[in-house]
Each structure stands twice: as C-alpha cells, then as structure tokens.
Amino acid sequence: DAKTTQPTSMDCAEGRAANLPCNHSTISGNEYVYWYRQIHSQGPQYIIHGLKNNETNEMASLIITEDRKSSTLILPHATLRDTAVYYCIVRRTGTASKLTFGTGTRLQVTL
C-alpha cells in the first residue's frame, strides 16, 4: 500500500472549517483514500473514503486532486469534540486488504 504524508499537528478554532491535507504521490489506480480519526484512548473511527471523486457525508468532505496524488479532509464546522489524531490511509479494497497507519495529524480544536 502507498505511503502517505501528513502534517504532524494543526490547530483550528471552534466553528471554523478544519482542512487536513494528505500527500499520497505513489498511490496506485486501484487504491482508495481512507480517513480515520482516533480520539484519545478510543479505537479509530471511520470518517470517509474515496477513489477519485470528491465525497461528502454527515461527518466530513473529502477532496481528491485530479492526479490523485493528494487529498484534503474538510470538517466544515469544527467542535471541541473533533480534537483527535486524523489518519489518512491508502488501501486497496477487499477482505484481506489491511490498513497501515502512519503517524497522522493531531488536530487541536480550540475555543
């Protein structure tokens, strides 16, 4: 699976949009971009994933560049409860396709 690069940490004011970037320049054509987050002392929570089109759900939006070498996770109105480590992972779909976690981005949402 392709490796990803994320900033180590970011800050965001509550109520503002949080934009978390991820580089995955070696992504293959059959690999999806997945985003998870881990709030302290909990298991990772699935947020969103996409192949090449932009995706939106109740939690976030995922913007993938046309060349698929990078993406941005957008939390439209960050709250204090969004403070967590966010992981961007590229992965082939399928039963045996595991997730390889990097170091992620620690997002701190402040008042």
Partner 1 sequence: GAVVSQHPSWVICKSGTSVKIECRSLDFQATTMFWYRQFPKQSLMLMATSNEGSKATYEQGVEKDKFLINHASLTLSTLTVTSAHPEDSSFYICSGGAGIQETQYFGPGTRLLVL
Least spacing, CB of residue 21 vs partner 1, in Å: 18
Q: What residues make contact with partner 1 under the rule CB under 8 A?
A: 32, 34, 36, 38, 41-46, 49, 87, 93-104
Sheet holding 70-75, edge to edge: 18-23, 70-75, 61-64, 55-56
Least spacing, CB of residue 73 vs partner 1, in Å: 16
Q: Which is nearer to partner 1, 54 or 57 (CB)?
A: 57
Q: Which is nearer to partner 1, 14 or 32 (CB)?
A: 32
Cα 30–Cα 34–Cα 36 angle in degrees, nearest 5 = 160
For the four alpha carbons of 5, 9, 15 and 16, in that order, the dihedral sign comes to negative
Least spacing, CB of residue 51 vs partner 1, in Å: 9
Q: Which is nearer to partner 1, 96 or 111 (CB)?
A: 96
Question: What is the rounded CA–CA span in Å between residue 38 and residue 86?
Answer: 6
| Contact criterion met (CB below 8 Å) for 60 and 75 | yes
Least spacing, CB of residue 16 vs partner 1, in Å: 26
